[in-house]
Amino acid sequence: MLSRPARKQINDFLQFFLILSAAVFIMIPIYWIISGAFKQQVDIFQLKLLFTPTLENFKIIFKSPYNLLDKLYNSTVVAFSTVVVAIPLATIAAYSFSRFRLTGERIMFVMILSTQFVPAVVIVLPFFILFRDLGILDTKLSLVLVNLSLIMPFAIWMIKGFIDGIPLDTEEAALVDGSNRIQVIKNVVLPMALPGVITAAIFCFILAWNEFLFAVIITTNKAVTMPVGLSMFHAEEGVLWHLISAAGIMIMLPMFVLATLIQKHFVQGMTMGAVR
Amino acid sequence: MKLENISKSWGNVTAVKNISLTIQDQEFLVLLGPSGCGKTTTMRMIAGLEEPSKGNIFIGEKRVNDELPKDRDVAMVFQNYGLYPHMSVYENIRYPLKVRKVPKSLHENLVRKTAQKVELEDMLNRRPRELSGGQRQRVALARAIVRAPTVFLMDEPLSNLDAKLRVNMRAELKHLQHELKITTIYVTHDQIEAMTLADRVAVMDHGIISQLDSPEKIYNDPANLFVAGFIGSPSMNLVKGELKEGIFKHSNFSVKVGLKECSEATLGVRPEDLELTNPENAVCSGRVYSFELTGESTLVTIQFEEDRLTVRGHNKYRVKIDEIVGVNIFPEKCYIFETETQQRLRR
Amino acid sequence: MRDRHLKYLFVLPALIVVASTAIWPLLQSFYLSFREWKLNRARESKALWDFEYDGWENITYLFDNYLQAVQDDLMWNAVQVTSIFTVASVILSVGMALGLALLLAPGGKFRLTVRTMLILPFAMSPALIGVSWRFMFQPDFGLFKAFFDVLFPPLADVDWLGDPILAMIALVGSDVWHFTPFLTLVFIGGLATVPKDAQEAATIDGATSWMVFRDVTLPSILPVLAVGIVLKSIFSLKMFDQVYMLTNGGPAYATQTLAHYIYFNGFKYYDMGYASAVSYMLVIPMFGLTWVYMKLVFLKR
């Protein structure tokens, strides 16, 4: 039998190797898109490992007929609007759920979470019919409305999780000192809940930005968002991989930046209800 | 067991600095000190949960630095008990037997006998979350003794119990250790536990052993200011002054102690070694700052300009705050320390 | 205003949004599943409420959509595809996430750095993930071709996305890649709640690392594990974006999940009544899972 220090070394090495493999596995699809974006189409066909990088692809996708800038604008406006509506409403609702008992709260929870547990298409069908009637199909407004069905529950769930984690003491002290409930929320709870609220806001922004199904159904032309825009790089001769990769970077990298910002608090919010 | 020049550091922080210690067979040794002094770290190194940065540990004749905890034949009782939450009391106590592959036929007998020793025979089917603190502690104890290890390690086992239970368990532990005759190392910050349980006490301070002696000597013959001030409740009175021509001079009083010169000296005297009397007959007098009736005595704190002395008086003694009282100091009951080195000056 | 009233006022706006964006469509869809609703009628939402009364004797026509679904081979194909996909992706992602969580739980710079990478796949648009994996599996110049060229020439010329089984493997692969890191983060959180004392006690009692895991760690994280499994199952059943981008249900419907099948019927063939009916058939197992999830989470309260 090997001595203890020797066995420990082998163990350490094995762990290091496994973790490194996992890290590589995580990065490969990401790297593949990034490298594709900077390659000329020729280089892609030839599967070159070493290539001269080019920014041409980015120039092309922003001009017509692709006009990615429009899609970028749409994505930003839709995601932003969804979050701006969802977060404030979710925050006060989450506060109430966290601090009070309400009659019928179980039913309310079921209602709120109901959209998470059905196939997303179910939500869109009636909206499609309605929007078509009202003539607001293919508008950012309609997309925001449908997105809310997905985002609102997440927002309430996450923010409630964060508020649950804030101790009651300071609130109760403020109430005893004479503040009314609204003042307590404004002056005591919000500052403490801010990291959680921001985390939830960023998370919901990412969800809305990446959202595909609703967008592909509701939008056709004017209100197309970037993920849907990916399909326009299918040409007769095949997929324009260099262009689609460049577009992919525009979708991917801003979200990576945002995700890294919130990654510390993220798990806390997602699992507050479960991990105790 | 022997610890030879043991040190432990993490980066810049050194928790244990060059400790050497020999522990006799069947001895009950207590590592005593305030939090952060390194006592728990030392114990964890003995257990094998931490590796020493420097030095050697011997159990019997064998050097065990590289041995896993499970191969050192030690048993440990944790401060928070460390019980297995998903197992019954029976399963908890049995676990060491199970993983050490003791023949199954012996399990039941051993577990029941051990449970009897700690008075838990009726609780064997319960889960830890259904038990009180004292009961959980006894499960932890039972789990440790069921396999009759070479060494017992106990990390502040009584600190999570309420005061009354603690006193009872102290007596139980002492009895158990005597009955089982197993070498025991016990970590605590409670000096009463140390005094009542130990064969020897190692008083630890910032990673070093300040004094290693029997409880009697720790109490009556402290080697330095740290030990003197740490042991005793209420703690020893310590006042600064000057030692000249065999006389300790304080702003309020002088005591003839017969020791050599020391420009900065500290005098230590225990509250029970001082006497309350009327101001005219006394060595010194001062104003009563506060007093406490403990039931078995009266503790009076007296203000002498910048210093305060606490005196343990008879439980019928009554006094008022701001009253002037006198205190008698007896030279033979005083301890003198050199303030700078903190060492005791002996005759 | 007293708390008594205020607390309802606080939840009201959110509930209104939920009711109008979620509950209303769900109820509408349910109603829709009993109607014959094709492209021409889809132009008029008012017509939704014209009920052509055919007499109570023939009431079974209400269930036409459902009957059609049950007899449709493609529907059953989608069920099979979805089942295989869900089982495979849940087992693989939860299993690997647990292993990875155990590896990454201890501290140290290396592990913490890798931990920050774990959020990235979750932040990537699933549609883009589909694109990326499709690109990697491209038979002429994809990453896997290069990979196999070097390591395993026999496999190099295989068109993964053209083969039913391999395409499914690719689909499962992309989904596992998507969710495993996220689940790992959840499990790392769960591992932090395991009582360290009990683990050390087990080590001293004589347990090997494997025994400590089996007897102390695993029982403690069982609740988190269960939540992870239920959550991932629900996500797998709903999965759509990757199928659309990676294989679009092909080759020959080999990767057409129920979500994709519903989409096809609803928005390619515009048979919305039928699409609704199939959706609601899927709702039943999902509702079962939801109920389990609620039980697990609310048990803590």
CATH classification at residue C103? 1.10.3720.10
Kindly report, residue by residue over C252-294, the tens digit of the pLDDT.
Answer: 888 999 999 999 888 888 888 888 888 888 888 887 887 787 7
The answer to whether B119 and B112 are in contact (CB under 8 A) is no
Q: What's the pTM? A: 0.84
Q: Which of B227, B248, B278 finishes a domain?
A: B227
Q: How far is CA C41 from the centre of its chain?
A: 32
Closest Cβ opposite residue B80 in set C197, C208, C219 = C197
Q: Do B10 and B106 fall within a single domain?
A: yes
ipTM of the complex: 0.87
Alpha-carbon dihedral sign for residues C104, C107, C109, C112: positive
Residues of B with CB under 8 A from a CB of C: 47-49, 68-70, 74-76, 78, 80-87, 95-96, 99-100, 140, 143
Kindly report, residue by residue over B202-235, the tens digit of the pLDDT.
Answer: 999 999 999 999 999 999 999 999 999 999 888 9
Q: Which of B227, B251, B270 finishes a domain?
A: B227
Return d(Cα B283, Cα B326) in angstroms, integer.
7
Q: Do B75 and C204 touch (CB under 8 A)?
A: yes
Q: Has residue C47 got a pLDDT over 70? A: no
Q: Do A117 and C287 touch (CB under 8 A)?
A: yes
Q: B82 Cβ partners below 8 Å, 6+ apart?
A: B140, C195, C197, C198, C200, C201
Closest Cβ opposite residue C211 in set B47, B82, B99 = B99
Kindly report, residue by residue over A3-44, the tens digit of the pLDDT.
Answer: 677 888 898 899 999 999 999 999 999 988 888 888 877 777
B48 contacts on A by Cβ (under 8 Å): none
pLDDT grade for C61, boundaries at 50, 70 and 90 = low
The reply to whether C202 falls in a domain is: yes
Q: Has residue A121 got a pLDDT over 90? A: no
Best to test chain B binding among A3, A4, A8 (most B CBs inside 10 Å): A4
pLDDT < 70 regions, chain B: none
**Shortest CA gap B172–chain A (Å):** 36
The reply to whether C224 falls in a domain is: yes
Q: Do B41 and B175 fall within a single domain?
A: yes
Q: Do A5 and B68 touch (CB under 8 A)?
A: no
A6 contacts on B by Cβ (under 8 Å): none
B185 contacts on C by Cβ (under 8 Å): none
Q: What is the mean pLDDT of residues C200-213?
A: 90
- What is the residue range of C107's domain? 69-298
Q: DSSP string of chain C?
A: --HHHHHHHHHHHHHHHHIIIIIHHHHHHHHHTTS---TTGGG-SGGGG------GGGGGGGGHHHHHHHH-HHHHHHHHHHHHHHHHHHHHHHHHHHHHHHHHSS-SHHHHHHHHHTTHHHHS-HHHHHHHHHHHT-TTT-HHHHHHHHH-GGGTT--GGGSHHHHHHHHHHHHHHHHHHHHHHHHHHHHTTS-HHHHHHHHHHT--HHHHIIIIIHHHHHHHHHHHHHHHHHHHHH--HHHHHHTTT-STTTT--HHHHHHIIIIIS--HHHHHHHHHHHHHHHHHHHHHHHHHHHTT-
The reply to whether C208 falls in a domain is: yes
Q: What is the pLDDT of residue C103?
A: 92
Q: Do C198 and B143 touch (CB under 8 A)?
A: no
Q: Do C204 and B49 touch (CB under 8 A)?
A: yes
Kindly report, residue by residue over B66-112, the tens digit of the pLDDT.
Answer: 888 888 889 999 988 889 988 999 999 999 999 888 888 889 889 99
Q: C246 Cβ partners below 8 Å, 6+ apart?
A: C130, C131, C133, C134, C161, C167, C170, C171, C174, C255
Which chains does chain A touch, 3 or more C-beta pairs < 8 A? B, C
The two structure tokens encoding residue B224: 């330095």
CATH classification at residue B254? 2.40.50.140
Nearest CA in chain C to B67: C204
The reply to whether C26 falls in a domain is: no
Q: Report the CATH number of the A67-271 domain.
A: 1.10.3720.10
The reply to whether C27 falls in a domain is: no
Q: Do B197 and B279 fall within a single domain?
A: no
Nearest CA in chain C to A274: C297
Q: Which of B168, B193, B227 finishes a domain?
A: B227
Which chains does chain B touch, 3 or more C-beta pairs < 8 A? A, C
> How crowded is residue B143: how many other Cβ atoms within 10 Å of its Cβ?
29
* Average pLDDT across chain A, whole number: 85
> How crowded is residue C164: how many other Cβ atoms within 10 Å of its Cβ?
16
The reply to whether C56 falls in a domain is: no
Q: Do B99 and C206 touch (CB under 8 A)?
A: yes
Give the count of domains, chain C. Answer: 1
pLDDT grade for C39, boundaries at 50, 70 and 90 = low
**Shortest CA gap B155–chain C (Å):** 11
> How crowded is residue A4: how many other Cβ atoms within 10 Å of its Cβ?
15
- Choose the most confident range, by mean pLDDT, from A58-72, A171-185, B112-126, C90-104: C90-104
Q: Do B298 and B255 fall within a single domain?
A: yes
Give the count of domains, chain B. Answer: 2
The two structure tokens encoding residue A111: 């209602």
**Shortest CA gap C132–chain B (Å):** 44
Q: What is the 3-state secondary structure (H, E, C) of C21-77?
A: HHHHHHHHHHHHCCCCCCCCHHHCCHHHHCCCCCCHHHHHHHHHHHHHHHHCHHHHH
CATH classification at residue B202? 3.40.50.300
Q: Do B177 and B74 fall within a single domain?
A: yes
**Shortest CA gap A200–chain C (Å):** 13
Best to test chain A binding among B62, B66, B70, B72 (most A CBs inside 10 Å): B66
Closest Cβ opposite residue C177 in set A29, A95, A127 = A29
Q: What is the pLDDT of residue A273?
A: 45
Q: Do B201 and B283 fall within a single domain?
A: no
Q: Has residue A47 got a pLDDT over 60? A: yes
- In A, residues 4-43, which contact B (CB 8 Å cutoff)? 4-5
Q: Do B132 and B257 fall within a single domain?
A: no
Closest Cβ opposite residue B82 in set C195, C219, C220 = C195
Q: What is the mean pLDDT of residues C179-192?
A: 90
Q: Do B292 and B189 fall within a single domain?
A: no
- What is the residue range of B98's domain? 2-227
B68 contacts on A by Cβ (under 8 Å): 4
Q: What is the pLDDT of residue A274?
A: 43
B66 contacts on A by Cβ (under 8 Å): 3-5
